[in-house]
Structure 1
Amino acid sequence: MKTMNMPIKLEQLLSSPQMKHDLSVSRLVEQSIERGEGTLTSTGALSVETGAYTGRSPKDKFVVRESLVEHTIDWGPVNQPLSKDIFTALYHKVLTHLGEKEELFASQGFAGADTNYRLPIQVINEFAWHQIFARQLFIRPSSTDEKLEREPFTIVSAPTFKAVPEIDGTHSEAFVMISFEERVILIGGTEYAGEMKKSIFSIMNYLLPEEGVLSMHCSANTGAEGDVALFFGLSGTGKTTLSASPDRLLIGDDEHAWSENGVFNIEGGCYAKCVNLSQEKEPQIWNAIKFGTVLENVVVSDVTGEPNYDDISLTENTRAAYPIDYIPNALEPSVAGHPSTIIFLTADAFGVLPPISKLTPEQAMYHFLSGYTSKLAGTERGITEPEVTFSTCFGAPFLPLPAHRYASMLGDLISKHNVDVFLVNTGWSGGPYGVGERMKLAHTRSMVQAALQGELSNVATTEDPVFGLHIPEHCPGVPDIVLQPKSTWPNPEAYELKAKELADNFKQNFTKFTGLSKDIVEAGPK
């Protein structure tokens, strides 16, 4: 496209001859292979690599400081402010860069399964496989004529455009910029497709609370009787794995909202971690990796085309992106009633938190605000082993509004609908990371099932002397010794030292919260 030294506009780019609109997944797979972007595996999935960026780049994410959001965004290290001038200049550069490409790809989609709150999305990519990712992860239109009154947000993704920090005002060659006034998400310098998914989540986390709807970083499923469960947790804690249960309908694996009508999925697909994936332990995810699925950074045999999920030489953050209907028991549309059970998931690398405990309402608020886990290797750049993380509301990197907005809404909903809340540790037992062992998935599944079926309601509990958590003394399918973390350690004194260390971390982190009731503040470690 010739620019005649004039900036290209988005409308020009969309109407240009090189823009291919709404190609089918089959055609996009063909395009990806022809362009050398990926190869087919033995299961039919498209295998791709994302280069140097195998996870999100939170330090390269910005929100444009504009009058529309000036006084509502929670500015800081998560929502880094960016001037409108810097954004506009880089936006024009990226559009010009894309205008010089021989082929571009665009599609329409939505965020939000409840049509009352659905947001139209427009996605522009220079990689065909990125367009597959977008088609599979966002909600696909039921027909080419489906439109909504709301103005869409547009993702403009240009991974081969590298920013120059000294000139472009970025922190590195990569950038993710959100402009609420322009309704544009500008992504460049990174091939990691997850930036598109999480940027739309950030948008919904701003828009939905303004409509009185709680947006949540959680997975969700529902039982035969219509009972709904939510699973909160950061990447790697088991949201996708534990919500994909053969005896329950999957509402979604990562992003949901809770309105006066109930829960609905924000997305139309799943983005499952693949590290150490096995057909025996996670059959639903295993079987979903077929034609139409994008397999990211998984080592694949050059001879057989078989994926090796145990090989983490590229990254531990290996992923599979597929539409939700690849899970046989997915609920469609992804809309359900009000939750009866909430489970907070944490991967505790200290190995001292109990595998399951029931929370009081005050403890539920304390642990939701704390959002503790051990950030696992690969989910973000630079993370090579578990790192202590307190991510407010189990989703701080994606929350544009102050944390108390989300916490207050959740507390009100828990109280209104009389929801049972549990804390489940999917991390280490018998010792810390490197010494103990990761909690057995079979045991975690048994504990979750018992919680959802009410089998722990009348079981006697023991109060943990350090964390004050109420630990069931028995759980079907789980040895009693496993339920008490101190009992699994060969050295009780070593356990007590580690428990105190983690408790101190909790207390230090919680000092940043002000204006909370005394009951919530005292609901943490003793």
Structure 2
Amino acid sequence: MSDHPLSGTGVATGHPVHANLTAPGLVQHALVRGEGRLSADGAFMALTGQHTGRSVQDKFVVDDPEVTNEIWWGKINQKMAPEKFQGLSAKVRGWLGERPVLFTQDLYAGADPAHRIRVRLVTTNAWHALFARNMFIRPLRRDLPEFEPDFTILHAPEYEADPAVDGCRTGTCIALSFAQKTILIAGTSYAGEIKKSIFTVMNWLLPARGVLPMHCSANVGRHGDVALFFGLSGTGKTTLSSDPERALIGDDEHGWSDKGVFNFEGGCYAKVIKLSRDAEPQIWDASHRFGTVLENVVADERGNLDLDDNRFTENTRSCYPINYIPGLAPGGQAGLPKNVVMLTADAFGVLPPISKLTPAQAMYHFLSGYTARVAGTEKGLGKEPQATFSTCFGAPFLPRNPEVYGRMLEERIQRDGADCWLVNTGWTGGAYGVGKRMSIQHTRALLRAALDGSLAKVEFVQDPFFGLMIPKSVPGIPAEVLNPRESWADKAAYDRTAAELVARFEKNFETFAGAVSEDVKAAAIKAAA
């Protein structure tokens, strides 16, 4: 227990405050309060109502004078006037103080003590407190009495903001004030907003400390070789980093400092729609345990999970402590990266399953951030994937200009000598609806060959459309898989589709071409003359 569970939050209440309950206590409260039910294996199952993904259009950053010149303003970071934030935060604090019970959790973000922040969550729901407890790093019990937050999350999922008064778009509002070190989350029960708000904070703080914050998973081999996996939701970051032959550092958010890589989190937030026990046994096992939180997952009356059922959303999620995955890297930290992997789910089906990148190409693809957004990850998407470009593989979470992160990545790749790869986990043999999804077995085999150094020894050929270096042959992988054009029955259709994607890359490059080096400009994908 904290001696002052609401210290630093501005919330005052005469009602009970349950501070830093462990998983059994939180599950008990959640069940008694009717917040959800247990699966047959003991995982807590919650439904999030109308919001089953992030509400990206309802995210705001407060236009505080001390930070306004450094924020990347626009559709990603919409301005909220300081006085509007003051008014809304006062109302949210008052509303929280009137609730019959509150739950707080005191947690860390950042496994490296030199770069971590202290976070205090105040929420009305026990299951949201359990989510945060799973997701972030839990302090030692002896450290809790003196815990004082660096940032506070005021989580009011049942509170509806007033757009006419509060300076927001709808009754849902996620507002961050870097000056006041406060995050408001109102009008949405989707727990991912808690996680991503803190990622945004780390993306703000760390560059000023010379640390690159990254939307990536990371693992480490037996010989200390660290690999990073960049990619948006649905591209395979969590799946591919959970490799029994390598120790997991973390599945989603990391920092790259002068001494190595460290996880921001203490848990995993895995997408589990159509999760396969054979292909992803570690995530499967973790999702069938007490203490795990399952969001919008379907089960029968006895609690037996049906992970193929998407009746609530495609964006079904499992949130569990990272120690549910066997073979972890000690302390969520490891050395400097040896391999940097950029994952894309190519809905056009024209990119190769793996290709070697030069440092300039790596910078280009990092700033491009091409993938296909998978249905359900963001509110408003349809049932089919949509081709998109999300700079730095995480544009929705970047408070600073993307070039800040791009330059830092380029410097670290060159300084630390990391090898870079582009991996397509999307479609092959045709575009979405015609082709099929890449084999997870093939992807794992190619990645292991890249990470153990054997892939660098094979012969490479250059792809004529994208300028990528493709391995000519890899033991155990069919040649037509390695060269995407050969997997298409209609070669002319492949050529047309590849040319269409090249044009999209060219158009997107216009948004950042003026801020990159000549080497990166030369590495850009462009149509043949």
The residue number in structure 2 matching 1:427 is 426
Contact kept? 1:463, 1:471, Cα under 8 Å: yes
**Per-residue Cα deviation, 1:302-340 (whole angstroms, up to 9, x for no partner):** 1x2111110011100000000100001122300100000
Per the TM alignment, residue 18 of structure 1 is displaced from its structure 2 partner at its CA by 2.1
Q: 2:516 maps to which residue? A: 516
Structure 2 distance, partners of 1:442, 1:84, is: 51
Letter in 1 for 2:486: S
CA shift for structure 1 position 517 = 2.3
Letter paired with 1:416: R
The equivalent of 2:57 in structure 1 is 59
Q: Which runs of 5+ in 2 are unaligned?
A: 1-5
When structure 1 is superposed on structure 2, of 131-140 and 469-478 the one drifting more is: 469-478
* 8 Å contact kept, 1:229–1:342: yes
In the other structure, the counterpart of 2:165 is 167
Question: In structure 2, do the counterparts of structure 1 residues 129 and 507 end up closer, same or farther at CA, with 3 Å as the change threshold?
Answer: same
- Correspondence for 1:4: none
Matched to 1:485, the amino acid is P
Q: CA deviation at 1:399?
A: 0.6
Q: Which residue of 2 aligns with 1:5?
A: none
Unaligned runs of 5+ in 1: 1-7
CA distance in 1: counterparts of 2:469 and 2:409, whole angstroms: 21
Residues 9 and 95 in structure 1, CA contact (< 8 A), matched pair in contact too: no
Q: RMSD in angstroms over aligned alpha carbons? A: 1.5
Q: Contact (CA 8 Å) 2:8, 2:149: kept in 1 or not?
A: no
2:129 aligned counterpart, secondary structure? helix
- Relative to structure 2, which stretch is displaced further, 160-169 or 369-378? 160-169
**Are 2:60 and 2:78, in contact at CA under 8 Å, matched by a contact in 1?**
yes
- Of 351, 370, 374, the match for 1:376: 374
- The Cα shift of 1:145 comes to 1.9
1:131 aligns with 2:112: no
Q: Using the alignment, how far apart are the partners of 1:395 and 1:512 within structure 2?
A: 16
Say if 2:479 is the partner of 1:480. yes
Is residue 249–residue 329 contact of structure 1 (8 Å, CA) maintained in 2?
yes
Q: 1:11: how far off?
A: 5.1
One-letter identity of the residue aligned with 2:357: L
Distance in 2 of aligned mates of 1:260 and 1:422: 22
What secondary structure is seen at the aligned counterpart in 1 of 2:367?
A: helix
1:133-176 per-residue CA deviation (whole Å, 9 max, x = no partner) reads: 00000100022425889851000110100112122221111110
CA offsets per residue over residues 59-97 of structure 1, 9 Å max, x none? Answer: 100000112211111111111110011111111111121
Structure 2 partner of 1:248: 246
Deviations 1:26-61 (A, max 9, x none): 010011111111100011100111000000011100
Is 2:39–2:299's contact at 8 Å kept on the other side of the alignment?
A: yes
Quick check: 2:13–2:98 contact (8 Å CA) kept in 1?
Answer: no
Q: Distance in 2 between matches of 1:147 and 1:446?
A: 48
2:329 aligned partner: 331
% identity of equivalent residues? 52
1:466 equivalent in alignment to 2:465: yes
Specify whether residues 29 and 171 from structure 1 end up closer, same or farther in structure 2 by C-alpha distance, changes over 3 A only.
same
Q: What secondary structure, in the 3-state scheme, does the structure 1 residue paired with 2:215 have?
A: strand
1:8-407 to structure 2, matched below 5 A, reads 13=11, 16-145=14-143, 152-289=150-287, 290-302=289-301, 304-384=302-382, 385-407=384-406
Q: TM-score, normalised by structure 1?
A: 0.96
Letter in 2 for 1:67: P
User: Could you tell me how far 1:476 is from its partner in structure 2?
Assistant: 3.1
Distance change (3 Å), C-alpha of 1:332 and 1:16: farther
Check conservation: 2:230, 2:393, Cα contact below 8 A: yes
Give CA deviations for 1:405-436 in whole Å, capped at 9, x if unaligned. Answer: 11111111101111100000000000111111
Q: Which moved more, 1:336-345 or 1:477-486?
A: 477-486
Q: CA deviation at 1:10?
A: 6.2
Aligned residues: 518
Task: Report the CA distance between 1:477 and its aligned residue.
Answer: 2.9
Are the counterparts in 1 of residues 13 and 97 from structure 2 also a CA contact under 8 Å? Answer: no
Q: Is the 8 A contact 2:7 2:148 kept in 1?
A: no
Q: What secondary structure is seen at the aligned counterpart in 2 of 1:225?
A: coil
User: 8 Å contact 1:13–1:19 — kept in the other structure?
Assistant: no
Match of 2:491 in 1: 492
Shift of 1:223: 0.5
Question: 1:412-468: CA deviations, max 9, x gaps?
Answer: 110111110000000000011111101011111111111101111111111110000
**Mean CA deviation greater in 84-93 or 237-246:** 84-93
Q: Secondary structure at the match of 2:455?
A: coil
What is the distance in 2 between the residues matched to 1:221 and 1:414? 17
> What is the TM-score when the length of structure 2 is the normalising length?
0.96
